[in-house]
């Protein structure tokens, strides 16, 4: 059983003991990301994540920062998304103090030196170029840009070249003060631990944490009256696309039905779209459907890489599957399979301490409410065949339909003609 402890300064600590593991994971999750940025600092959340590995007073350079964990075979990394930034490490449980010292040091004491900022700009610009040269990845950025346009939700997490080249140290310092605080930080410790000793250790290592109030993000604005498309011309041997619909945010009661709908359509190798697009027609190597749930927006999207000469056919097949599932109820057996798949994959993941840390912490950060796996499974079990059809009918409509595509095409007229549902 997990335990949530809230300190007087607002810092939340989640402890998740696991008797069957010999490892421990520490995850520090901060409630900020690209949605909290303004245009002049777009990409700063992600840039700051990089800077936390560039040196502290105690560990003055990158080698000194990362070597302690390498010496004990630890796994460690960081990530930035639209609404969260995280820093984590997983080690042999005997090295709990080492990892708490490491993650608290980079969080609290990173120097953020201008010389390192200037040096790291080159690295991040190469990361940006890598994404731009990877259509399978970049089409996802085009998809969110299409849905949300010129607002934080529609901007790239990594930022733009123009902004990245100009950012200065004082902008990092200001961002840290305004967005990194005990008020929006959660520390999870999962694995071979006991609650009370770990809570006391976290208090000690994070005693100097900033306690300022934090700035909130702008709410997402959504407006659409007909199907929308964004066609990005690029000479490719394969067309990469995102085709889907606006859906629900993370607080919506139908999010569980939406998740199961995504599984049925394209969540695994026996899903409807995998069979119809790949196995029966040979149109794609990869095709999948998933959902994205943020605090103020969400969507269901099918991703695929298809033959340039048969893009039209692939789009029509995907749309046909959307129509079918909205018009005709699925069978109880198909719903049963989706539920068991969802629960099975969740349980397999939760055998690892790092997955347990993420499971509880993201819920707390984004919703303020933690459900146990059993409580989540109960909500999944409550979804009916009628719920699946109702949700499909609600989202698969012309005013919610969107297509983002990268391929050797300059005229989007032909795509707009078939983008009907």
Q: Is residue 222 part of a domain?
A: no
What is the 8-class DSSP label of residue 256?
A: H
Q: Domain end: 205, 239, 257, which one?
A: 205
User: Is 181:210 a contact under the CB 8 Å cutoff?
Assistant: yes
Q: Which of 40, 404, 58 is nearest to 242 (CA)?
A: 404
Q: What mean pLDDT, rounded, does the chain reach?
A: 97
Q: Which tens digits make up the pLDDT trace of 152-200?
A: 999 999 999 999 999 999 999 999 999 999 999 999 999 999 999 999 9
How many other β-carbons are positioned within 10 Å of the β-carbon of residue 109?
14
Q: Which tens digits make up the pLDDT trace of 244-297?
A: 999 999 999 999 999 999 999 999 999 999 999 999 999 999 999 999 999 999
Q: Is residue 221 part of a domain?
A: no
d(CA 42, CA 33): 10
Residue 419's pLDDT band (cuts 50, 70, 90): very high
Q: Is residue 197 part of a domain?
A: yes
Q: What residues make up the domain containing 38? A: 3-205
What six digits make up the tokens of 155? 């901007």
Q: Are residues 313 and 200 in the same domain?
A: no
Q: Look at residue 34 in the predicted model and tell me its pLDDT.
A: 98
Q: Are residues 168 and 238 in the same domain?
A: no
Q: How many CA atoms lie within 13 A of 123 on its CB side?
A: 13
Q: Which of 372, 386, 406 is nearest to 4 (CA)?
A: 372
- According to the 3-state scheme, what is the secondary structure of 279-318? HCCCCEEEEEEEEEECCCCEEEEEEEEEEHHHHHHHHHHH
Q: Are residues 171 and 257 in the same domain?
A: no
Q: Are residues 192 and 232 in the same domain?
A: no
CATH number at residue 199: 3.30.830.10
Q: Are residues 133 and 29 in the same domain?
A: yes
Please state the rounded mean pLDDT for residues 300-319: 97
The partner residues of 238 in beta bridges, in order of sequence, read 307
The pairing of beta strand 185-191 with beta strand 12-17: parallel
pLDDT at 19 over 90: no
Domain count of the chain? 2
pLDDT at 360 over 90: yes
The pairing of beta strand 85-92 with beta strand 75-80: antiparallel
Q: Are residues 181 and 235 in the same domain?
A: no
d(CA 65, CA 56): 8
User: Is 335:6 a contact under the CB 8 Å cutoff?
Assistant: no
Q: Which tens digits make up the pLDDT trace of 363-404?
A: 999 999 999 999 999 999 999 999 999 999 999 999 999 999
Q: Domain end: 190, 205, 220, which one?
A: 205
Q: Are residues 35 and 168 in the same domain?
A: yes
Q: Are residues 233 and 201 in the same domain?
A: no
- According to the 3-state scheme, what is the secondary structure of 360-406? HHHHHHHHCCCCCHHHHHHHHHCCCHHHHHHHHHHHCCHHHEEEEEE
Q: Are residues 238 and 142 in the same domain?
A: no
Q: Is residue 384 part of a domain?
A: yes
Q: Is residue 319 part of a domain?
A: yes
Q: Are residues 238 and 362 in the same domain?
A: yes
Q: Are residues 200 and 246 in the same domain?
A: no
| Residue 23 phi, psi (nearest 5) | -115, 170
Angstrom distances, CA of residue 15 to CA of 185, 186, 190, 376:
14, 11, 6, 19
Q: Is residue 211 part of a domain?
A: no
Please state the rounded mean pLDDT for residues 54-82: 97
Q: Which tens digits make up the pLDDT trace of 95-125?
A: 999 999 999 999 999 999 999 999 999 999 9
Q: Which of 23, 60, 14, 82 is nearest to 364 (CA)?
A: 14
The pTM for the full model equals: 0.96
Q: Are residues 286 and 336 in the same domain?
A: yes
d(CA 170, CA 189): 32
Q: Is residue 271 part of a domain?
A: yes
Please state the rounded mean pLDDT for residues 209-237: 96
| Residue 56 phi, psi (nearest 5) | -125, 180
Give the total residue count for the chain.
421
d(CA 303, CA 361): 28
Q: Is residue 167 part of a domain?
A: yes
């Amino acid at each position: 059983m997990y335990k949530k402890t809230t300190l007087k300064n607002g810092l939340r600590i989640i402890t998740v003991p696991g008797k069957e593991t010999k490892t421990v994971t520490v995850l520090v999750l901060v409630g900020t990301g690209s949605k909290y940025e303004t245009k002049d600092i777009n990409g700063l959340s992600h840039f700051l994540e990089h800077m936390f590995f560039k040196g502290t007073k105690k560990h003055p350079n990158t080698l000194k920062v990362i070597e302690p964990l390498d010496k004990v075979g630890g796994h460690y990394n960081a990530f930035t998304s639209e609404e969260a930034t995280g820093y984590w490490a997983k080690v042999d449980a005997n090295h709990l103090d080492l990892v708490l010292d490491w993650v608290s040091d980079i969080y609290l004491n990173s120097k953020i030196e201008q010389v390192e900022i200037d040096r790291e700009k080159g690295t991040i610009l190469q990361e940006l170029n890598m994404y731009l040269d990877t259509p399978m990845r970049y089409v996802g950025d085009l998809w969110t840009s299409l849905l949300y346009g010129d607002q934080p939700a529609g901007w790239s997490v990594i930022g733009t070249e123009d902004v990245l080249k100009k950012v200065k140290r004082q902008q990092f310092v200001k961002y840290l003060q305004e967005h990194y605080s005990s008020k929006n930080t959660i520390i999870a410790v999962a694995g071979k631990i006991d609650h009370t000793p770990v809570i006391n250790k976290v208090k000690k290592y994070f005693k100097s944490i900033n306690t300022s109030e934090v700035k909130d993000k702008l709410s997402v604005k959504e407006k659409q009256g007909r199907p929308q498309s964004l066609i990005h011309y690029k000479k490719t041997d394969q067309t990469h696309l995102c085709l889907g619909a606006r859906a629900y945010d993370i607080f919506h009661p139908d999010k569980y039905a939406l998740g199961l709908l995504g599984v049925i359509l394209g969540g695994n190798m026996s899903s409807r779209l995998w069979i119809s697009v790949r196995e029966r027609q040979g149109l794609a190597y990869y095709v999948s459907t998933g959902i994205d749930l943020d605090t103020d927006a969400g969507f269901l999207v099918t991703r695929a890489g298809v033959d340039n000469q048969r893009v039209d056919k692939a789009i029509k097949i995907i749309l046909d599957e959307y129509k079918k599932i909205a018009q005709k109820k699925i069978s109880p057996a198909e719903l049963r399979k989706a539920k068991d798949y969802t629960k099975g994959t969740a349980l397999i993941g939760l055998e690892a301490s790092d997955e347990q840390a993420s499971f509880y912490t993201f819920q707390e950060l984004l919703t303020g409410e933690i459900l146990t796996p059993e409580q989540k499974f109960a909500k999944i079990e409550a979804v009916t065949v009628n719920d699946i059809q109702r949700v499909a009918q609600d989202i698969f409509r012309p005013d919610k339909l969107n297509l983002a595509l990268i391929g050797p095409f300059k005229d989007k007229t032909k795509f707009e003609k078939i983008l009907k549902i």
